[in-house]
Chains A and B, each alone.
Chain A
Amino acid sequence: MANPTMTLIGTPVIVGSGGLTTVNFTSIPNTYTDLIIKASARAGSANWINISINGGSTTTNLLHLLDYNGTIYSQTYTPARLTVNGTTSNTFSNSELYFTNYTSSNNKSFSADNSAEANSTNVELQIGAYSWNSTSPITSITLTGDSGQTIEQYSTFYLYGIRNS
Chain B
Amino acid sequence: MGVTTTTASAATYVPIQTQTLGSSTGTVTFSSIPSTYTDLVLIFTGTTTSSNNEFIQFNSDTGTNYSDTWVAGFGPGASPNPDSGRHSNATGSYTGNNTTAQAIKIINIFNYANTTTYKTAITRWSSGSGSDYNAAAMALVSLWRSTAAINSIALYRAAGTYNSGSTFTLYGIKAA
Contact residues of A with B, CB < 8 Å?
A: 1-6, 33-34, 60-66, 72-76, 80, 98, 100-101, 106-111, 113, 127-131, 133, 162-165
Contact = CB atoms under 8 A, between A and B. Distances in A.
> Which 4 pairs between the two chains have the least Cβ-Cβ distance?
A74-B73, A65-B73, A111-B126, A129-B126
Main secondary structure of the interface of A (DSSP, over half): strand
Nearest to A100: B45
B14 to A, nearest CB: 5
B127 A129 contact: yes
Contacts of B136: 63, 129
Interface in B113-159: 124-129, 135-139
Contacts of B171: 5, 164
Interface string B64-86: 00000001111110000110000
Contacts of B106: 98, 111
A154 B45 CA distance: 34
Contact of A127 (B12, B45, B137, B165): B137
Interface of B: 10-15, 18, 43, 45, 47, 71-76, 81-82, 101-104, 106, 124-129, 135-139, 165, 167, 169, 171
A150 B104 CA distance: 31
A34 B43 CA distance: 10
Given A1-B10, A76-B76, A63 B43 contact: no
B124 A76 contact: no
Main secondary structure of the interface of B (DSSP, over half): strand
15 contacts: A2-B15, A6-B12, A34-B43, A65-B72, A65-B137, A76-B135, A106-B165, A108-B102, A109-B104, A109-B129, A110-B126, A127-B124, A162-B13, A164-B167, A164-B171
A73 B128 contact: no
A38 B75 CA distance: 26
Nearest to A106: B102
A40 to B, nearest CB: 20
A130 B18 contact: no
Most B-side CB within 10 Å, residue of A6, A108, A129: A129
Given A63-B75, A101-B167, A129-B136, A74 B11 contact: no
Most A-side CB within 10 Å, residue of B14, B102, B165: B102
Most A-side CB within 10 Å, residue of B15, B127, B128: B128
B104 A111 contact: yes
Contacts of A109: 45, 101-104, 126-129
B128 A4 contact: no
Contact of B137 (A64, A98, A162): A64
Contacts of A64: 73, 137
Given A5-B171, A63-B128, A131-B129, A107 B102 contact: yes
